[in-house]
Chain A
Amino acid sequence: MKVLVTVKEVAAVEDEFQIAGTSIDETYLEYDLNEWDDYAVEEAVQLQEAGIADEVVAVTIGPERSEETIRMALAKGADRAVRIWDDALEGADLLDVGAKTAILEKVVEEEDPDIVLSGVQADDDGFGATGVSLADALGYEWAAVVNHLDQDSVESGTASVRRELEGGVEELTDVELPAVLTIQTGINEPRYASLRGIRQAQRKEIAPKTLGDLGLDAAAVENELELTDMYEPETESDATYFEGGPDEAAGQLADLLREKGVGAQ
């Protein structure tokens, strides 16, 4: 059985930052593997370790810079990776769900996996839509916000999963394979890459592909979304701040808490 994991390099923003036009100035960005994808990679690797998956392929849409991040997925156990990038994607502030779907659909068709694992959402654009959109485009079944996957069920051709709903309720669902599952944080404990894994990852393949390689042209990824403004949200804060250093502030907070009867035995 083959498992494909979609991964994305995302930028985290430092506490203090500057906005330049409709993007954040590069100097304030730190790139890392998307938090949700880290759990998706772990889930795939666990399927492999359990002898259920015989191959785990990581797929990303990203510029050359993202290879460093993708290599982390390889270091954690994915067998090889495919990275799609193209001049037509360069400079787009935002890649919409339709464009991502069109690209990933081609890759999945080529790879023909039984299970595709994606993250629930990416921390940067936060659309939370690619996995389900992709499933529909492929004619795969799917489940969104999965926080448990019964490994044994997978071999029978139906994945028994739990979907994490709001308010501490989980939905138990059986999903026919092939399927896309969007993975929620907490489903497992993502491992740290071992030194050996990191060394091995250097020799693993990251195949670069252009839109042309996938049989797509620039029109397929034409964005209908245009980012027209980016700004720091106006603070709605009317908080009273305790100042004067940690000790002084702690003293004032303690007074407030005592006033409210907190800590009084």
Chain B
Amino acid sequence: MGKRSVIPFGPQHPVLPEPIHIDLVIEDEKVVEAIPSVGFIHRGLESLVDKRDYNQMTYVVERTCGICSFQHGMGYCEAMEHVFGVDVPARAKYLRTIWAELGRMHSHLLWLGLLADGFGYENLFYQCWRVREKVLDMQEMTSGGRLIFSVNKVGGVIKDIEKEKLDIILKTMDEVEEELTVIKDTFLLDYSVQSRLQGVGIVTKEQAHDLGCAGPFARASGIRTDMRKLGYAAYPDLDFEPIISATGDSYARCYCRIMEIFQSIDLIRQAIGKIPNETDLFTPVKGNPDGEYFMRVEQPRGEAVYYVKASGKQYLDRFRVRTPTFANLPGLCEMLKNTQLSDVGLLVLTIDPCISCTER
């Protein structure tokens, strides 16, 4: 047995733009234990419910996380719509689906880039981000914002995507698909990348299940979980299957996310093909909310849960969000055990951590 020592990882670390602090207990070069400490980014936005009314909260909730901002807004609005008992117009549902999938694409591309940077392929990192800019351009064209676009509203959406713009999206999707097919091969077939990812950081199906992992992290370990199958927005009308992989190592997680980008492209195509022609974009809600609801949404990183509770006042009693990274942290700490110190940076990346969601 070697001598034990503790190496701090973060809060400011080159691999991750976000602050998380992990104390790594190591023995020689091997990690025996990983102890996370959080709170560097805690804002307490859930407490804003007593200062902002339920409509204003939409914009606060969107700022839980800048990467999956649209989906946060959507989850909150869907929950509020259930509380009010209103039906959202079909076109708004499809628009939400399109924006949500664009968000998933840009999030996964961002992650792929960071992963490439993590194993030292700087050019690949730039390639991924170059493709990502195309997706961001689509978001900007349709909503006006690159990342945070505030198009959700309790009852529907506030902006329409016109026919011409839908055509541009379709054209861009073709381009992205073509470029991604080239990039994909480097991630999945390159010898050095394989040796860096395969067999590293294995989480078995049982472990993933017991630790309550979510999203691509769980799917890479072979768990069929995808909240989109629960049928919110326009997902019930679209045809897709959750992408799973059995091995549960870093490579599997990379594979799942890449394939999900292709899936998103396909979903956007389907949604644009089926989008109904309506002029109504939202159902007006009247009065104050009363009741509670529990909404589950599949975000790029996994299942997010929104809980709202209202008692007939303009201000909500309680708002709570449980984000996917929060569910994945126990899995991460388990995974870090018995790995090499030099792999830690990359392994932390493979769960696609979003700390600002986690700590809100």
Q: Do A and B bind each other?
A: no
Residues of A within 8 A of B (CB): none
